[in-house]
């Protein structure tokens, strides 16, 4: 196998995919944005190349001599000052990358989509890869871009490009330097900024398991198929309880009716759009999506890829350890309880 390009290699999932490939002895070219934070690549034996999804010429250069591509570069945000940017990067940029890969005649592309591109089943029933997207008008721009870009990518499959789709759920673990919106959920809880939960839930998974799932998809995945990479479905109340149990922290979350929270979240999002131009504490468009039970069935990945995620308690522990070690946790009360738990 020849050289492998990883786009978004310095990102949260991308850096872990890079490590998985290096562990298998692969020759990796890491694509980064000019000026991007590359702490996640420090000490790794990779070739780096600067390129931009919105500059097609730079992509052609990045793909020169490449046999395989892992496409992870994307904007993961629930709010931006200029909302068009997320469509430009996640949709137009991804198509630029696939067009360059098609012209370069690469052997296979592992395309990182999202569980957000999959539709939902009623209530707490878990959705699988066959459930068509059904959230138009009910979600935020990030969700729309992941669905749209996956649909657009399928046109390349129909024209002969070997693409396998990976649909990660909500990953946690070390090296979430941004942090991602998913990591921010955890940080807001341990930092005491969020003590409220509402009905709904999500599928939580270890970032290293997601990365391993990408490599398994490259090896065992079927062309044109999507694979949900998740682990355990938990309600938001259960997620609070899980963090408390793993870390030894003592906090009492309160249930917040979504009907009360939505008007406030809508106001904060409008104010961010027109006045502050800074991310709101809660965005109405994001809350409308998150109030669902974002539960998923990962049996397809287990059966076809050999995907086997670890206990999620270990993932939460590793995420908190990393955040604490790198100064992301400012809540002294939590840190005291956490360190006491570690010594006991």
Ramachandran assignment for 224, one of left (phi > 0), alpha (psi -120 to 50 degrees), beta (any other): left
How many whole angstroms separate alpha carbon 170 and alpha carbon 230?
Answer: 7
CA–CA gap between residue 182 and residue 66 (Å, rounded): 32
Sign of CA dihedral 304, 308, 108, 70: positive
Q: Look up residue 315 and give its two tokens.
A: 């993932």
Measured CA to CA, the distance from residue 145 to residue 141 in angstroms comes to 6
3-state SS string for the chain:
CCEEEEECCCCHHHHHHHHHHHHCCCCEEEEECCCCCCHHHCCCCCEEEECCCCCHHHHHHHHCCEEEEEECCCCCCCCCCCCHHHHHHHHHHHHHHHHHHHHCCCCEEEEECCHHHCCCCCCCCCECCCCCCCCCCCCCHHHHHHHHHHHHHHHHHHCCCCEEEEEECEEECCCCCCCCHHHHHHHHHHCCCCCEECCCEEEEEEHHHHHHHHHHHHHHCCCCCEEEECCEEEEHHHHHHHHHHHHCCCCCCEECCHHHHHHHHHHHHHHHHHHHCCCCCCCHHHHHHHCCEECECCHHHHHHHCCCCCCHHHHHHHHHHHHHHCCCCCCHHHHHHHHHHHHC
Extract the tokens encoding 271: 């104010």
According to DSSP, the residues that pair with 69 across neighbouring strands are: 5, 109
Do residues 2 and 27 touch, judged by C-beta distance below 8 A? Answer: yes
Distance CA 317, CA 219 (A): 30
Name which of 227, 213, 203 is nearest 308 in CA terms.
Answer: 213
Q: So what's the pLDDT on residue 94?
A: 98
Long-range contacts of 43-47 (CB under 8 A, 24+ apart): 44/18, 44/19, 46/9, 46/18, 46/22, 47/3
Whole-number Å distance between alpha carbons of 200 and 292: 5
Token readout for 12 is: 């949260």
Question: What is the residue-level pLDDT of the chain in tens, covering all 344 positions?
Answer: 789 999 999 999 999 999 999 999 999 999 999 999 999 999 999 999 999 999 999 999 999 999 999 999 999 998 899 999 999 999 999 999 999 999 999 999 999 999 999 999 999 999 999 999 999 989 999 999 999 999 999 999 999 999 999 999 999 999 999 999 999 999 999 999 999 999 999 999 999 999 999 999 999 999 999 999 999 999 999 999 999 999 988 888 999 888 888 999 999 999 999 999 998 878 889 899 999 999 999 999 999 999 999 999 999 999 999 999 999 999 999 998 888 876 65
Specify which residues 6 forms β-bridges with: 30, 70
The pLDDT assigned to 342 comes to 66
* Domain 3-172+205-231+295-309 falls under CATH 3.40.50.720: yes
Q: What is the pTM of this model?
A: 0.95
Q: Parallel, antiparallel, or unpaired for β 226-229 and 66-71?
A: unpaired
């Amino acid at each position: 196998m020849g050289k492998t390009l990883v786009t978004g290699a310095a990102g949260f999932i991308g850096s872990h995919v890079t490590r998985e490939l290096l562990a298998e002895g692969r020759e990796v070219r890491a694509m980064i944005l000019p000026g991007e934070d590359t702490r996640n690549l420090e000490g790794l034996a990779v070739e780096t190349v600067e390129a931009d999804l919105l500059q097609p010429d730079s992509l052609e250069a990045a793909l020169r001599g490449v046999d395989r591509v892992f496409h992870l570069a994307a904007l993961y945000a629930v709010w931006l000052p200029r909302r068009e940017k997320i469509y430009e990067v996640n949709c137009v940029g991804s198509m630029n990358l696939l067009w360059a890969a098609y012209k370069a005649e690469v052997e296979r592309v592992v395309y990182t989509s999202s569980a957000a591109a999959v539709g939902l089943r009623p209530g707490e029933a878990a959705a699988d890869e066959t459930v068509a997207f059904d959230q138009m008008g009910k979600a935020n721009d990030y969700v729309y871009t992941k669905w749209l870009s996956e649909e657009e990518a399928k046109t390349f499959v129909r024209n002969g490009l070997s693409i396998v789709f990976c649909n990660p759920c909500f990953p946690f673990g070390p090296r979430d330097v941004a942090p991602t919106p998913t990591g921010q959920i955890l940080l807001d809880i341990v930092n005491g900024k969020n003590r409220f939960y509402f009905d709904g839930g999500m599928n939580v998974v270890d970032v290293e398991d997601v990365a391993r799932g990408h490599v398994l998809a490259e090896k065992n995945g079927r062309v044109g198929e999507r694979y949900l990479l998740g682990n355990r479905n938990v309600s938001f109340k259960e997620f609070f309880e899980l963090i408390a149990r793993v870390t030894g922290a003592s906090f009492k979350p309160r249930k917040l009716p979504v009907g009360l929270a939505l008007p406030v979240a809508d106001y904060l999002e409008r104010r961010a759009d027109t006045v502050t131009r800074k991310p709101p504490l809660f965005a109405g468009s994001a809350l409308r999506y998150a109030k669902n039970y974002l539960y998923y069935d990962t049996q397809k990945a287990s059966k076809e890829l050999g995907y086997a995620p670890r206990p999620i308690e270990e993932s939460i522990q590793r995420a908190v350890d990393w955040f604490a070690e790198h100064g992301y946790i400012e809540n002294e009360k939590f840190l005291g309880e956490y360190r006491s738990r570690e010594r006991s």
